[in-house]
Structure 1
Amino acid sequence: MKWTPDDMPSQKGRTALVTGANSGIGLEAARALAQKGAHVILGCRNADRAADAVVDIHRSAPHAVLETLHLDLSSQASVAKAAAQVREHHKKLDLLINNAGVMWLPRSLTEDGFEMHLGTNHFGHFALTGLLLDLMVEVEGSRVVTISSLAHRSGRISFRDPTLTHGYNRARSYAQSKVANLIFAQELQRHLSKRGAKTVSVACHPGLANTNLANVGLIGQSPLKLGSLIKQAMPFVTQSAESGALPTLYAATAPEVEAGGYYGPNRLFETIGTPGRARISRYAQDPGIGRRLWDLSVALTGVDYSPRLHASGGPQGG
């Protein structure tokens, strides 16, 4: 059965934060949620591009309720500041979509000393989720949706050398961050289940989508000067950003989505198509790996989930 945004239930009364909402899949997810009545917070690194996204969404949804949030996931200080701002203005959060990411970059470190892919794609979202989680755990129907990738299947966490100082490879680094996203989503659900929280954690991937991220990663970083050839081929082997956002929207809103589930396109080895259950690597499902990554993430970010998961009553301090 084909699933489209028309199948989404009404989002009126719900507040959603979408990271990386100024372009690509994040923008399309924010647009669809706003069209269904959600109050959407666009978490973006660049203020001008965030403002452009608001104008863009208002063209198709003139009555959309939108706000922008400065958020640089490569900076733990920016994450903490953004979370504090959300907490200041909102008593609850129904939906957190951990979408933003970087892909196939030359080796570099964040200001906190993390390898850029892992620091942005995983540690940034780990900290953001932890700092906002108590706005969600008592909210009926709330969800944390974390975007992974087909690349997770080759990903492994280098626990002894998470910054990949030895033998750096941009594809390996990206895969490490994407398997970290999926491991995090699985481990978060284990913690939420133990707590008896009303929030569920799910993950998804877009398949192969023709987005700015893909263009920068696959074209800008392509070897042997094949960028122009890849650019010409992209429309024939990928789907649009709008189609690529479908698994995200399905994971975020479909009533049949299961806690801890993983969703992606259902055709051509999960590269294109309507949303359905996706295959998770055995490595990403390993609870022992999940605990190790969780403990490492807490140690490196300083964000301890325990007070937020076990607090009773309403939202707690940030």
Structure 2
Amino acid sequence: NLIGKKWSSDVRLDGKTAIVTGANTGIGKETARDLAKRGARVILACRDVRKAKEAAREIAEDSGSAGVVPCKLDLADTKSICEFAEHIFNTEKAVHFLINNAGVAICPYSTTADGYETQFGVNHLGHFFLTFLLMDMLKQSAPSRVINLSSFVHSMGRIDFEDLNSERSYHPVKAYVQSKLANVLFTRELARRLEGTGVSVYAVDPGAVHTEMIRHMKSSLQILVNAFSFLIKTPVEGAFTTLYCTLTPDLESGGYYSECAPAKCSRAASDDLAARRLWALLGGRWSSAARLDDKTVIITGANTGIGKETARDLAHRGARLILACRDAEKAEAAKKEITEDSGNQNVVVMKLDLSDTKSIRDFAELINKEEKQINILINNAGIMMCPYSKTADGFEMQFGVNHLGHFLLTYLLMDLIKRSAPARIVNVSSTAHTWGAINLDDINSEKSYDAKKAYGQSKLANILYTRSLAKRLEGTSRFTALIGVRSVTAPGTGVTAYSLHPGVVQSELWRHLSTPLQLAVKVFSPFTKTAVQGAQTSIYCAVEPELEKESGGYYSDCAPASCARSARDDEMAQNLWDLSCQMLGIAWD
């Protein structure tokens, strides 16, 4: 072999715990093998559990270690990442090393379970989210380290902030090098934020290594790689720099390493503004000068979190605000804060308990009697991953509040909303819609209850409901239908509907999560959006003028976003609509 610097160290890791993603093969497997030989407890975090178990047996036999543990982790699925992190919190006392090694390279276009382009989703976002969830434990285990595997090909990349998901144009090499550049930028920004915590971060170029990652290359390129294999590192050699960054004392955090030494990264990878911008994509702030004078807005769950910050923003825009809340005392406190902050005295509080259809009907009756118009209805309130319980009407709590409660509320206010056109209905969903499926045969989870699946079902219902509602409302009065090559104007109602993912937000919704995940969310808040940031997409859907021409879409980070295939199933959307009407005893055609 003509390339590669052999490195060795006698450092022991007895009593230490390391997580290595993608450890069933290649560099990850050889990294895990070396760490096991040094006495570390090694968790092989892999998508393919069968291969992980085989690798664990091989490493255990080779190292003589009984502390090699295979675990399921699919970095293309945020649900899997959450489940893995919760498992770690429940089973491990400490995590001293997180080695973000897994990756996919130069593959045909596809998307993750959450709708991200696969290479960016797995190589960057998956590890970003995993690091976020484990950060509290890494801090408690300090001194600890995070090692992110990048590549020298990052120098060929640039971050396309206008098309991160490569939806407009896709080239597998371009997408791969973008993801590897993101790894280096993430490392720099994370190191800056972790200064003084005892957690250090490193980006690694393992070199040109012969691994299973070449499986997606064209056959001609694979032949070329194999022909010049004498110039390419083995996985053992490719693991050296990862091990160097794991074991060498007093390394500078935030650095980029190659051949077991500090290395120079590209100018694009040294761009701290780009690093912060990439980070900020998880929680930016949208701005618009749009006014809402003489408009009336209802926001459910407006006494706290996203709802309160949405209300605060719209109050500054001059709207009449109705804070529709279950807890009147908290709502009054929110009203006082919003009026003092905005100078808008046209803010009122009204009692609304979405877990009780009588309360919903009483609220709607009062609105229809006393209000002349409803220009914007923001269905924001929700409950998340709670223990099993039922609403006053016998519905499973999450489905009852998050979907049925808002479904009924919208139905009861629809005539007034139509008379107020142009008007908008904004339904706050979540990327967690990918966690669930609509179980028409057990919609109330009476046969079997899983808090995550029930929450995912309710958020999926929000999107399907929005699609169906938009079709029934026929877009806007300027809705255009194409007939052949001729455009005609269709007579719409003037009411548009939108669903959205607010982001991972610090809010009271997390109160029902297990204690370890609550700690992760609270302690490492830089990874999550604030309530102000989480409100931005709700505000965008409520006021952005360009959206007058659109209806039924799903939005995230103040832009159209991809939702799961299950959220685009119009047949299921119709079935859900029919079932919702049946459960609520209403006829809504």
TM-score (norm 1): 0.87
Q: Deviations over 1:70-111 (max 9, x none)?
A: 000010111000001111111221000000000010011111
Amino acid at match of 1:210: Q
- Whether 2:498 is the aligned partner of 1:211: answer no
Q: Distance in 1 between matches of 2:383 and 2:296?
A: 25
Query: Aligned partners of 1:264, 1:230: CA distance in 2, in Å?
Result: 20
**Distance (whole Å) between structure 2 residues aligned to residue 132 and residue 278 of structure 1:** 28
Structure 1 residue 4 displacement after superposition: 4.7
The partner residue of 2:494 within 182, 198, 203 is 198
Alignment of 1:104-119 (within 5 A): 104-119=385-400
Offset, 1:58: 1.5
Aligned pair 1:297/2:297, yes or no?
no
What does residue 99 of structure 1 align with? 380
> Equivalences for 1:53-64 in 2 at 5 Å?
53-64=334-345
Matched, 1:247 2:530: no
* Paired residue type of 2:408: A
After TM superposition, give the deviation of residue 8 of structure 1 in Å: 4.2
Aligned to 2:208: none
Match of 2:551 in 1: 259
Contact 2:506 2:522 (C-alpha < 8 Å) held by counterparts: no
Quickly say closer, same or farther: Cα 1:8–1:77, change in 2 above 3 A.
farther
SS for the counterpart of 1:42 is strand
Q: Verify the 8 A CA contact 1:41 1:69 in the aligned structure 2.
A: yes
Give yes or no for the alignment of 1:284 onto 2:564. Answer: no
Shift of 1:305: 2.6
- Determine helix, strand or coil for the equivalent of 1:165: coil
Q: CA deviation at 1:237?
A: 1.6
1-structure distance, mates of 2:352, 2:344? 24
Question: 1:213 Cα deviation (Å)?
Answer: 1.2
Larger radius of gyration: 2
| Counterpart Cα distance in 1 of 2:509 and 2:306 | 10
* One of 170, 173, 178 as aligned partner of 2:454: 173
Q: Distance in 1 between matches of 2:353 and 2:573?
A: 25
CA distance, structure 1, for counterparts of residue 576 and residue 349 of structure 2:
31
Aligned to 1:314: none
Question: How large is the Cα RMSD of the aligned pairs?
Answer: 1.7
Provide closer, same or farther for how the CA distance between residues 227 and 149 of structure 1 changes in structure 2, counting only shifts above 3 A.
Answer: closer
State the AA in 2 paired with 1:232.
Answer: V
The verdict on how the C-alpha distance between 1:263 and 1:8 changes in structure 2, with shifts beyond 3 A counting, is farther
Amino acid at match of 2:348: E
Q: Which moved more, 1:58-67 or 1:158-167?
A: 58-67
Q: Given the alignment, which residue of 519, 530, 547 partners 1:228?
A: 519
Offset of residue 230 of structure 1? 4.2
Deviates most, 276-285 or 21-30:
276-285
Q: Structure 1 residues 178-187 or 276-285, which shifts more? A: 276-285
Distance 1:56 1:249 in 2: 19
In structure 2, distance between residues paired with 1:282 and 1:174: 18
- Count of aligned positions: 291
**Secondary structure in 1 matching 2:545:** coil
Superimposed CA distance per residue, residues 90-143 of structure 1 (whole angstroms, 9 cap, x where no aligned partner): 122100000000001001111101000000000000000000011112333200
Q: Is the 8 A contact 2:435 2:452 kept in 1?
A: no
Q: Give deviations 1:160-217, integer Å, cap 9, x for gaps.
A: 0111112211000100000001111111001111872110111111111111213x14
**Does 1:16 find its partner at 2:312?**
no
Aligned partner letter, 1:27: K
Q: Distance in 2 between matches of 1:41 and 1:124?
A: 17
SS at match of 2:441: coil
- Listed one character per residue, the Cα deviations across residues 253-299 of structure 1 (whole Å, up to 9, x for unaligned) are 1011221121112xxxxxxxxx1111121111111011100000111
Q: Relative contact order (C-alpha < 8 Å, sep 6+): which is higher?
A: 1
User: Structure 1 pair 64/34, CA: closer, same or farther in 2 (3 Å)?
Assistant: farther
Separation (CA, whole Å) in 2 of partners of 1:79 and 1:14: 22
Q: Is the aligned partner of 1:37 residue 2:318?
A: yes
Name the CA shift for 1:182/1:250 in 2 (closer, same or farther; >3 Å). same
Segments of 5+ residues of structure 1 without an aligned counterpart are 266-274, 307-318
CA distance 1:286–1:82, shift in 2 (3 Å)? same
**1:236-261 deviations in whole A, cap 9, x for unaligned?**
22010000000000011101122112
Aligned to 1:238: 528
TM-aligned CA deviation for residue 303 of structure 1? 2.8
* Alignment-derived partner of residue 131 in structure 1: 412
